Amino acid sequence: MTTSQHSIIGRQPVVNDQQQIIGYEFFFRNETDGSNTPFEEDIQTCARILNTTMDEMHESWLLGQQLAFINVDHVMLNSVFLELMPAEKTVLEVVHHLQVTPEILARCQELKQLKFRIALDNPQHYPHLEALLPYADFIKIDMRNVDIAQAKQWLKKYQHDQCSLIAEKVEENNQFQDLLDAGYHQFQGYFYAKPENISSKVINPSFDGVLHLLNLVSQEAENKDIENGFKRDTTLSYKLLRYINSVGFGLSCEVQSIGHALTILGRNQLYRWLTLLMVTAGNNSSSPALMKTSITRGRLTELLGEPFFEKRDRDNLFVVGVFSLLDVMLKVPMENILEKLQLPETIVDALVERQGIFGPFLKLTEACEDANNEEILEMAAMLQLKPEKVNQCHMEALAWTEALGI
């Protein structure tokens, strides 16, 4: 079995100080030992990975201005395949064990002329990388167990007009805030997806309206009752009509009534749309990165379960993924949210215990999100899903979320 048959793709967002996603770092892990550098063993793997990423970027992953951060060693840097990538959207993240030779310096200069950007991995710990500082557009600094005084020193040493620092391994919101105050503007880590100071706050009215409608749909209420639910909230009515009249539906005439919109949309599509609305509508103060993460979770959980479930259960998988971050988004304990939602027991089991028929799919989604190689393999094997299938679902989910334009 070659390396190319069993490498696993992971990704983690890089965000700015507004918690908007500016790019993704892609991880390509070797299944056999969990390492992040299969390239040295197999240049064909290198070519396949670059080709796959390029296809996604050009055809289904709508990057916009977002960047793809890809780890590179000496094999990858010197590969002719590298130049197939869209240079202005690609950041070459030099691994710390790279030997910096005159040939490597010359190659970095050449790649910069081609408009590639270069990132260095923790040069404060690997002084040999400092020879590459003149070519660096980004420097990543691991912030685990780092005090703020040290973080400020690194900022002073490395950051200038042509080079930005990215604080990585930031896992807590208060650490993000301290680094922001210190002068860092770019971050990597899931600090925005961790519960902070969750209390028994009241869910605001706009969310209550969506909750009410979701309950009506899940209980298969009459159309007129659902229509009245929309009429109680002008904003929701407006959003529904705007959605149904969007170019995506390709309707020949404009839909002007809620009743007509509900007929065209159908219950399953309405259920999914309300789930998205739960994340993106109203007075939601959640960061754009958190919204995208929750929606990607929904789509990935659904795609992973597609071979196993009928349409309605796949919709439920989507809801499970999206709702799994509601406690963080609303800053309300999950139990309080579920008290207001009459969701099927299978969804509740997955959200609270990661159990039941949907639980394993959510656990696999979360493992993909964290690029947890060991758990990905364990959960995929349990569900009899090949790593290649998990990769494909992951990339499709990311593309789908980007295409929503949220």
Give the CATH number of the domain where residue 103 resides.
Answer: 3.20.20.450
Exposure pattern of 128-153 as b/e (b: 16+ CB <10 Å)?
ebeebeebbbbbbbbbeebeeeebee
pLDDT of 270 strictly over 50: yes
- Do 170 and 271 fall within a single domain? no
Q: Give pLDDT, residue 30.
A: 53
The residue assigned the tokens 């070659």 is 2
180/215 same-domain check: no
273: in domain = yes
In a domain, 198, yes or no: no
Is residue 215 a part of any domain in this protein? yes
Which tokens sit at 155? Answer: 């900022």
Least confident among 43-57, 207-221, 322-336:
43-57
Looking at the structure, do residues 147 and 211 belong to the same domain, yes or no?
no
pLDDT at 215: 85
Residues 134 and 49 both lie in one domain: yes
Q: Which of 14, 155, 161 is nearest to 91 (CA)?
A: 14
Q: Which of 21-25, 58-62, 150-154, 222-226 has the highest mean pLDDT?
A: 150-154
Q: Mind giving me the DSSP string for 15-33?
A: EETT--EEEEEEEEEETTT
**Average pLDDT of 128-142?**
95
Between helix 345-353 and helix 311-323 the angle, nearest 10°, is 30
- Residues 310, 181 share a domain: no
- In a domain? residue 80: yes
Boundary of a domain, candidates 132, 159, 193:
193
Report residue 345 CA to chain centroid gap.
Answer: 27
Q: Which phi-psi region, left, alpha or beta, contains residue 145 (left: φ > 0; alpha: ψ -120 to 50)?
A: left
Identify whether residues 42 and 77 lie together within a single domain.
Answer: yes
CB 146 within 8 A of CB 125: no
Q: In 143-267, where do the E strands start and end?
A: 164-168, 186-188
Q: Mean pLDDT across the stretch 89-113?
A: 93
The domain tally of the chain equals 2
Q: In this predicted model, which residue has the larger pLDDT, 136 or 55?
A: 136
Q: Of the candidates 164, 193, 222, which is a domain's last residue?
A: 193
Give the pTM.
0.72
Q: Is 38 part of a structural domain of the chain?
A: yes
What sign does the CA torsion over 237, 240, 246, 251 have? negative
pLDDT tens track for 349-405: 999 999 999 999 999 999 998 878 889 999 999 999 998 899 889 888 888 887 766
Give me the pLDDT at residue 56, please.
Answer: 52
What span, in angstroms and rounded, lies between the C-alpha atoms of 33 and 142? Answer: 23
Q: Is 252 a member of any domain? A: yes
Residue 79 lies in a domain: yes
CA trace torsion 336, 295, 346, 203 (10° rounding): 20
pLDDT at 246: 64
Residue 301 burial by CB count (10 A; 0-12/13-18/19+): exposed, middle or buried?
A: buried
Look at 371 and 196; give whichever has higher pLDDT.
371
180 and 261 within one domain: no
104, pLDDT greater than 70: yes
Instruction: Give pLDDT, residue 40.
Output: 44
Contact between 401 and 276 (Cβ < 8 Å):
no
Greater confidence, 219 or 14?
Answer: 14
56 vs 273 pLDDT, higher one:
273
Q: What is the mean pLDDT of the chain?
A: 81
Lowest mean pLDDT among 37-41, 98-102, 278-282: 37-41
Closest CA to 392 of 356, 368, 373, 372: 368
227 and 125 within one domain? no
Residues 55 and 111 in one domain: yes
Mean pLDDT of 109-123: 95
Claim to verify: residue 60 and residue 122 sit in the same structural domain? yes
pLDDT tens sequence across 276-335: 777 776 555 567 788 888 889 999 999 999 999 987 788 889 889 988 988 888 788 888
Looking at residues 117-140, what average pLDDT do you find? Answer: 95
Q: Is there a single domain that holds both residue 227 and residue 367?
A: yes
Q: Is the domain of 178 the same as that of 243?
A: no
Of 135, 164, 193, the residue that ends a domain is 193
Residues of the chain with pLDDT > 90, as a percent, come to 35
Q: Say which residue, 231 or 89, is predicted with more confidence.
A: 89
Question: Once rounded to an integer, what is the mean pLDDT over residues 51-65?
Answer: 52
| Residue 120 lies in domain | 3-193
In a domain, 200, yes or no: no
**Do 122 and 109 form a contact (C-beta atoms < 8 A)?**
no
